[in-house]
Amino acid sequence: EPLSIADFSKKIGKPITEIVKYFFAHGVMLNQNAILNESQIGELALEFGFDFKKEEVLTKENIFEQLQVEDNPEDLTPRAPIVTIMGHVDHGKTTLLDSMRNSNVVDGEAGGITQAIGAYQVKNKATNKSITFIDTPGHEAFTEMRSRGANATDIVILIVAADDGVKPQTEEAIDHAKQANVPIIVFVNKTDKPGADPEKVKVELMNYGLVAEEFGGDIPFIFGSAKQKIGLEELQETILLIADVLDLKANAKKFASGVVLEAHLDKAKGPVASILVQAGTLNMRDVLVAGPTFGAIKDIENANGLKITSAGPSKPVVIFGLNSVPNAGDKFLVMNDEKMARSIAEAQAEKQLAAERMTKQSFTLDSIKNHIDEGELKSINVIVKADTQGSVEALKGSLMKIDVDGVKINVIRASVGAISNSDITLAAAGQAIIYGFNVRPTANVRNKADEDGVDIRLHTIIYKVIEELEAAAKGMLDPII
Ligand code: GDP
């Protein structure tokens, strides 16, 4: 029986618009009546994190019935939290990652052979519980993953040097973590240095909405030193405490799915990919699709370079056997059929090309009315950049008062200064419109905005901004000539 997008939407319980949007973002225009072929169904499974029942071989005819949308509650078991460290340059991200790893490797399995694979696991000594750290410090990787729909972080560690305080990239990290709705733990680093003032950092961060428990908030603050290995145990305990509250679980019994962290071509071994298993269990000889690539797994290694035969949820591993090199952020999914895997990989490769050819118009002021009508928009994300703090505050204040038919304006960043590449990255990830008030982007930034499909609007009069946004929400925007 032919399957339309509308049927599929019903089966998986996701809005039609999300499915249409997925194809659109990959350069294919389909409406809700479009009939899906089996590789498109496979792609959607990959995108939305479903998998297929293990028992039967997939065929064109049975792929729909084989889709497994929901996990059986009794199959869910606890999994390790996945943590990303973010903060300003030189505040100690790398040192913290290294210290945490080294203090663990000493009594670890391989006796110190470690490789950088994009993530690693640490076993907390007191509790014997594991924590997975994403080993690509910085928020670029974090937002890049997120803008591609791969949420690979449960908890963000915001690291702030006690002798330096909040700096621009600290602010950006806060914006990103808040946007992603991920709990934050603050690690105030370098408290061993003369002139360090950790209490001041605590007060400073209140201005950014990160309020410590003792001030009535719920943000854990840990004072320590990545270099002297002070506070690491407390940090781990706090991570595990939050993980308990989050009640992180996954179904380890099904086919593995997850995300590619890094990949490269090795002259001797061929394509090598570091991946994070997010659900299911990966086994030797499994056939998987990873973005536009596929293959049967020939070898699995852990972060210590040891060969292993399987990997469950939250495990970062290196795999060998793909037919070519996938991209960081590509999702992967094991399926028990090589032909199917190949056809899905090929379809994904074609789409990637199509998407590269097409200028992405993912989210513009013109399109807002459509998004509202389709019921997928309850608030419009806006980034405000202005020439003075006064203008920033005035704009922010006016924007937050806008309410058109229940649609609100949500200011996700408001700061003084020119429109920068990092504003574009945040806008792309958060589907935001950027407003420049008496400031402009450079040509370089403008190009990135075009590439990422980000709408930049420039104004010099506040009420014009308000008028424009209200008009957009009402679908009465004057056409741009
Ligand atoms: P990143 O840019 O955030 O990754 O920062 P790094 O980890 O590279 O650290 C920047 C510098 O700060 C390096 O010279 C580190 O040795 C130093 N550093 C990191 N943590 C500490 C600490 O707790 N105390 C002191 N005194 N120095 C530190």
Closest residue CA from atom 17 of ligand 1: 92
Write the pLDDT tens digit of every residue in 384-431: 999 888 888 888 888 888 877 777 888 888 888 899 988 888 888 778
Q: Rank 139-143, 289-293, 344-348 by mean pLDDT and report only the highest.
A: 289-293
What mean pLDDT, rounded, does the chain reach? Answer: 85
Q: Quote ipTM for the complex.
A: 0.99
Residue 163 Cβ contacting ligand 1 at under 6 Å: no
Q: Residue 209: pLDDT above 80?
A: yes
Residue 226: pLDDT band (50, 70, 90) is very high
Contact in structure between 461 and 451 (CB atoms under 8 Å): no
Pocket test for ligand 1, best of 227, 228, 229, 235 (most atoms within 8 A of CB): 227
Q: What pLDDT is recorded for position 95?
A: 92
Q: Residue 28: pLDDT above 80?
A: no
Higher pLDDT, 30 or 222: 222
Q: Residue 293: pLDDT above 50?
A: yes
Q: Compute the average pLDDT of residues 187-211.
A: 96
Q: Which of 88-97, 108-117, 346-355, 412-421 has the lowest mean pLDDT?
A: 108-117
Q: What pLDDT is recorded for position 106?
A: 45
Q: Which of 197-211, 281-295, 408-422 has the lowest mean pLDDT?
A: 408-422
Pocket test for ligand 1, best of 85, 88, 89, 90 (most atoms within 8 A of CB): 90
- Kindly give the pairing relationship between strand 310-311 and strand 270-279: unpaired
If you measure from the C-alpha of residue 68 to the centroid of ligand 1, how many angstroms do you get, rounded to a whole number? Answer: 46
Residue 115: pLDDT band (50, 70, 90) is low
Pocket test for ligand 1, best of 95, 100, 167, 192 (most atoms within 8 A of CB): 95
Contact in structure between 319 and 287 (CB atoms under 8 Å): no
CA atoms within 13 A on the CB side of 61: 1
Residue found by looking up tokens 């009069």 in the block: 461
Residue 189 Cβ contacting ligand 1 at under 6 Å: yes
Neighbour order of strands in the sheet with 82-87: 119-123, 130-134, 82-87, 155-161, 184-189, 221-223
| ∠ CA 358-145-400, rounded to 5° | 85
Residue 136 Cβ contacting ligand 1 at under 6 Å: no
Nearest atom of ligand 1 to the alpha carbon of 226: 23
Q: What pLDDT is recorded for position 412?
A: 86
Say whether 86 sits in a helix, a strand or coil.
Answer: strand
Write the pLDDT tens digit of every residue in 129-184: 999 998 775 666 677 777 666 678 999 999 999 999 999 889 988 988 898 889 99
Higher pLDDT, 132 or 13: 132
Contact in structure between 308 and 109 (CB atoms under 8 Å): no
Residue 103 Cβ contacting ligand 1 at under 6 Å: no
- How far apart CA 156 and CA 12 sit, in angstroms, is 30
Residue 404: partners with Cβ closer than 8 Å, 6 or more residues away: 470, 473, 474
Q: What pLDDT is recorded for position 219?
A: 97
Higher pLDDT, 338 or 57: 338
If you measure from the C-alpha of residue 144 to the centroid of ligand 1, how many angstroms do you get, rounded to a whole number? Answer: 25
Give the pair of three-digit tokens for residue 416. Answer: 């003084």
Q: What pLDDT is recorded for position 357?
A: 56
Pinpoint the alpha helices (H) of 358-480.
368-373, 389-401, 421-430, 443-452, 462-474
Which residue numbers belong to the known binding site for GTP? Answer: 87-94, 135-139, 189-192
- Kindly give the pairing relationship between strand 331-334 and strand 287-290: antiparallel
* Burial class of 463 by CB neighbour count within 10 A (0 to 12, 13 to 18, 19+): exposed
Q: What percent of the chain has pLDDT over 70?
A: 85
Give the pair of three-digit tokens for residue 94. Answer: 């790398």
Q: Compute the average pLDDT of residues 373-387.
A: 80
If you measure from the C-alpha of residue 161 to the centroid of ligand 1, how many angstroms do you get, rounded to a whole number? Answer: 8
Give the pair of three-digit tokens for residue 151. Answer: 């949420």
If you measure from the C-alpha of residue 414 to the centroid of ligand 1, how many angstroms do you get, rounded to a whole number? Answer: 29
CA atoms within 13 A on the CB side of 235: 31
- How far apart CA 260 and CA 152 sit, in angstroms, is 10
